[in-house]
């Protein structure tokens, strides 16, 4: 698996230190695994990072010792701590935090469990110097929202492979096949084009099941005239790409054809609304207005898109404006999906999803598959 070159990690560390200084934090306890992968290049199922003024300490257990030491040899400023077999990650993290001494250290309040927080706070209280844990939110996620050129390269490659997979496999969904059989074919195709794994459980929703946006795949058999929503994605070198096409089995009838055209028009309007400095919610608004104009406002029951990166759903949120949530302004290098849909309970539904990158002049499609198949 390819990882970002060391200079990208050095740049990420510098941006992180600037964020910590702006927040008047001496350090940061990082427990979110995608954030740890972003800062160290280590993709582990268990790991903890303590960012201190002196170093970035990557705490792992014996299973990841060798991989972590390889990362240490690559990245200046990274120091590996292997937790002793009889010890806990909290014990090692508390020891690293105590070295920081007096000061405020942020923790990721969206991620750290209450139990782990209590364990750490208890150990710090015994350690002597006054290291205070302070709740923080989204510090590393803010860095991740704008992709560097290496990340954009991986996402571009992933989107090209996903498009190849889609073009090959979608025409093979035929009347009589079960949704599960179609999903198995899609997942085999994702492996064939080189993805490490699917990015999420593949959705194949046929007939009335297509009215459920996050249905998965069941035993129903595809029948002539059905709308079939196929939503699938892959992970390549740790980065997620995501695509949906809706087909009709056999020749489309008028109602199905019109629905697909309205959804495609909403996606095109969303794409046109993208621009550096514009609000992410304006992109959602553009798609929503098209569907409202077609009498499908109520049927569009989710947001227009979501950021893609180390997670399949990350910032920016391309959804409706909400009073309690700060609007995000689009920046060049953001990568997200555009996936409007319309769902009619008991009848069916349609979604069309592609991946885009924001550029200085607007946006560029990363996925490339005919929309009205
Ligand atoms: N299937 C997940 C998504 O499209 O967001
Ligand atoms: Mn999506
Ligand atoms: Mn999707």
Q: What is the pLDDT of residues 186-231, one digit of tens each?
A: 999 999 999 999 999 999 999 999 999 999 999 999 999 999 999 9
Give the residue, 188 or 372, on which the prediction is more confident: 188
Minimum-distance ligand to the CA of 337?
2
CB 239 within 8 A of CB 290: no
Nearest alpha-carbon partner for 241 in 333, 162, 133, 318: 162
Confidence of residue 373 (pLDDT cuts 50, 70, 90): confident
| Per-residue pLDDT, 302 | 97
- C-alpha of residue 232 to centroid of ligand 1, in Å: 8
Q: List strand residue ranges (DSSP E) for the chain, in order.
A: 27-30, 48-51, 56-60, 78-82, 103-108, 131-136, 197-198, 203-206, 227-236, 239-248, 305-307, 314-318, 335-338, 341-344, 348-351, 354-359, 362-365
Residue nearest ligand 1's atom 3 by CA: 242
Q: Cβ(355) to ligand 1 under 6 A?
A: no
- C-alpha of residue 351 to centroid of ligand 3, in Å: 9
Residue range 170-197: average pLDDT? 97
- pTM of the predicted model over 0.95: yes
Q: What is the DSSP letter of 253?
A: P
Q: Cβ(200) to ligand 1 under 6 A?
A: yes
Give the residue, 148 or 102, on which the prediction is more confident: 148
> Which residues contact residue 307 at a Cβ distance below 8 angstroms, ignoring those fewer than 6 apart?
145, 313, 314, 315, 316, 317, 318, 334, 335, 336
CB 30 within 8 A of CB 37: no
Give the number of the atom of ligand 1 that is nearest the alpha carbon of residue 353: 4
As separate numbers, helices (DSSP H) first and strands (DSSP E) second, the chain gives 10, 17
Nearest alpha-carbon partner for 37 in 24, 49, 52: 49
Minimum-distance ligand to the CA of 336?
2
């Amino acid at each position: 698996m390819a990882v970002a070159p060391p200079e990208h990690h050095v740049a990420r560390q510098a941006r992180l230190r600037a964020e910590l200084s702006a927040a008047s934090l001496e350090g940061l306890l990082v427990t979110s695994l995608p954030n740890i992968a972003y800062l160290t290049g280590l993709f582990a199922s268990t790991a903890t990072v303590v960012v201190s003024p002196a170093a970035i300490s990557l705490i792992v257990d014996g299973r990841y010792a060798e991989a972590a030491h390889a990362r240490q040899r690559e990245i200046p400023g990274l120091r590996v701590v292997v937790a002793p077999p009889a010890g806990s990650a909290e014990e090692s993290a508390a020891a690293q935090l105590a070295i920081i001494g007096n000061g405020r250290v942020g923790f990721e309040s969206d991620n750290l469990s209450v139990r782990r927080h209590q364990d750490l706070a208890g150990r710090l209280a015994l350690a002597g110097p006054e290291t205070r844990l302070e709740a923080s939110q989204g510090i590393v996620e803010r860095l991740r929202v704008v992709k560097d050129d290496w990340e954009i390269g991986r996402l571009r490659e992933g989107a090209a492979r996903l498009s190849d997979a889609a073009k090959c496999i979608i025409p093979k969904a035929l009347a009589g096949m079960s949704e599960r059989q179609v999903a198995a074919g899609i997942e085999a195709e994702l492996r064939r084009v080189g993805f490490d794994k699917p990015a999420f459980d593949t959705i194949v929703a046929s007939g009335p099941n297509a009215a459920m946006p996050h249905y998965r795949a069941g035993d129903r058999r595809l029948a002539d005239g059905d709308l079939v929503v196929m939503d699938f994605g892959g992970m390549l070198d740790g980065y997620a790409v995501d695509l949906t096409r809706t087909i009709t089995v056999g020749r489309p009838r008028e109602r199905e054809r019109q629905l697909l055209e309205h959804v495609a028009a909403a996606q095109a309007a969303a794409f046109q609304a993208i621009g550096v400095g514009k609000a992410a919610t304006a992109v959602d608004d553009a798609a929503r207005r098209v569907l409202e104009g077609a009498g499908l406002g109520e049927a569009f029951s989710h947001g227009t898109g979501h950021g893609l990166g180390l997670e399949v759903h990350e910032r920016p949120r391309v959804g409706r404006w909400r009073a309690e949530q700060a609007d995000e302004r689009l920046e060049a290098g953001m990568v997200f999906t555009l996936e409007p849909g319309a769902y009619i309970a008991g009848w069916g539904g349609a979604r069309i999803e592609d991946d885009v990158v924001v550029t200085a002049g607007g946006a560029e499609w990363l996925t490339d598959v005919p929309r009205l198949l």
